Amino acid sequence: MAISFSDLHTETGIKSLDHYLKGKTYISGDEITRDDVKVFAAVLGKPGGKFPNVGRWYECVSSHLAARFPGEAVGVRIAGQAVPPVAAPVEEASKDAPEGGDDDLDLFGDETEEEKKAAEEREASVKASSKKKESGKSSVLLDVKPWDDETDMKKLEETVRSIEMPGLFWGASKLVAVGYGIKKLQIMMTIVDDLVSVDTLIEEQLTVEPANEYIQSCDIVAFNKI
């Protein structure tokens, strides 16, 4: 567009911008572009009610910047020029506008490497903070006791390992002598804490039919967070 940076310090410049934005949401149409951000940086503040098109556009761009840079919309820099906050109406702000010097500002310059890097870091930070925290895991050692010395311990272990559910992973096992010819099964398992309750596993899976044909009881020997 033909409106220069210095023009937007004056009521005449804002009036021209208001006329240009009639029927438009953004400078180039219905989608925000860098031109909107650059012109936004040149406007001293939200204009008064006599410029409704600029006021509506200003609110749209301001909301976009606030969403893209949460808590940092004020201070965003375009080619070295700080984006101004929502300020007093342009009629008042223009009284204190400096004379000259604005034409030297490269408001429409290309985005610098520092700006690109800062934008990438912000996006990475937002993604990291919004990423769901992974569930913790635990390593559990169980004692599984048979009814007597006649219990088939191979069948007992097969019964234990046949129990499957999301977040449950059976590990190494061994038979440990208890006395009077009776052995117990010691078995490791890894669980996803949010998915598996060891108490529920014992009460509703390991010590009820059909598992209780071989299993008399179960005890937690060790429970460690991974």
Kindly state the DSSP code that residue 88 receives in the 8-state scheme: S
Average pLDDT over residues 26-42: 80
Q: How far is CA 177 from CA 20, 151, 160, in A?
A: 90, 13, 18
Query: Under a CB-based contact definition with an 8 Å cutoff, are residues 224 and 139 in contact?
Result: yes
Q: What is the pTM of this model?
A: 0.42
**Residue 181 in tokens:** 């010819």
- Cis omega (within 30 of 0) on the bond before 84? no
The residue ranking higher by pLDDT, 205 or 73, is 205
Domain ranges (residues) in the chain? 6-130, 137-225
Whole-angstrom distance, CA of residue 187 vs CA of residue 224: 14
Unique residue bearing structure tokens 């804002």: 14
- Work out the mean pLDDT of the chain and round it to a whole number: 77
Query: Under a CB-based contact definition with an 8 Å cutoff, are residues 167 and 194 in contact?
Result: yes
Contacts of 78 (CB under 8 A, 6+ apart): 34, 37, 38, 41, 107, 111, 115
Unique residue bearing structure tokens 């009521």: 11
Confidence at residue 131, expressed as pLDDT on a 0 to 100 scale: 52
- Res 174 pLDDT > 50: yes
Any idea which architecture 137-225 has in CATH? Answer: 2-Layer Sandwich (3.30)
Confidence at residue 127, expressed as pLDDT on a 0 to 100 scale: 66
The residue ranking higher by pLDDT, 210 or 3, is 210
Q: For 3-36, b where at least 16 C-beta lie within 10 A, e where not — what string?
A: bebbbbbeeebbbbbbebbeeebbbeeeebeeeb
The model's confidence at residue 80, banded by pLDDT at 50, 70 and 90, is: very low
The three-state secondary structure class of 201 is helix
Whole-angstrom distance, CA of residue 215 vs CA of residue 206: 7
Comparing 50-59, 126-135, 211-220, the range with the smallest average pLDDT is 126-135
Cα angle value 38/39/40 (rounded, 5°): 90
pLDDT in tens, 100-132: 444 444 444 555 777 777 778 777 776 665 554
Confidence at residue 67, expressed as pLDDT on a 0 to 100 scale: 72
Q: What is the longest distance spanned by two Cα atoms in the chain?
A: 103
